[in-house]
Homo-oligomer: A and B are copies of this chain.
Amino acid sequence: MRSLKIHWVPLAIVLAVFVAACSGPELRATGDLGLVIERADSSALIIDTSARTRLARVTGLGDLSHASVVYSRDERFAYVFGRDGGLTKVDMLTATIANRVIQGGNSIGGAISQDGALVAVSNYEPGGVKIFDSGTLDLVADIQADSKTVGLVDAPGRRFVFGLYDKGEIWVVDMSDRANPQITKFKNVGDQPYDGLITPDGRYYLAGLFGEDGMALLDLWNLEGGVRRILGDYGKGQEKLPVYKMPHLEGWAIADGHAFVPAVGRHQVLVVDMATWLQVATIPVYGQPVFVMARPDGRQVWVNFAVPNNGTVQVIDVPQLKIVKTLTPGKGVLHMEFTPRGEEVWLSVRDLDKLVIYDTQKIEVLKELPALKPSGIFFTARAHRIGL
Contact = CB atoms under 8 A, between A and B. Distances in A.
A342 interface: yes
Given A116-B50, A156-B341, A22 B31 contact: no
A203 B298 contact: yes
A126 interface: no
Given A4-B7, A29-B92, A297-B201, A342 B156 contact: yes
Interface string A6-41: 011011001100110110110111111000000000
A242 interface: no
A71 B384 CA distance: 15
A181 to B, nearest CB: 16
A222 B201 CA distance: 26
B29 A22 contact: no
Interface in A113-170: 114-116, 156-158
Contacts of A257: 257, 275
Contacts of A94: 27
A10 B114 CA distance: 55
Contact of A74 (B29, B158, B344, B361): B29
Contact of A18 (B4, B10, B22, B344): B22
Contacts of A337: none
Contacts of A330: none
B156 A32 contact: no
Given A7-B11, A156-B299, A176-B361, A27 B29 contact: no
Interface string A211-223: 0000000000110
Contacts of A221: 299, 319
B385 A341 contact: yes
A266 interface: no
A18 B3 CA distance: 24
B30 A27 contact: no
Interface in A23-75: 24-25, 27-32, 49-50, 71-75
Given A156-B297, A297-B386, 12 more contacts: A14-B14, A18-B18, A31-B74, A31-B383, A31-B384, A32-B75, A73-B340, A156-B361, A176-B361, A203-B297, A341-B385, A341-B386
21 contacts: A3-B7, A7-B11, A25-B27, A29-B30, A29-B92, A29-B93, A31-B74, A31-B75, A49-B73, A50-B74, A73-B340, A75-B75, A114-B341, A115-B341, A201-B255, A201-B296, A201-B298, A202-B297, A221-B299, A257-B257, A341-B385
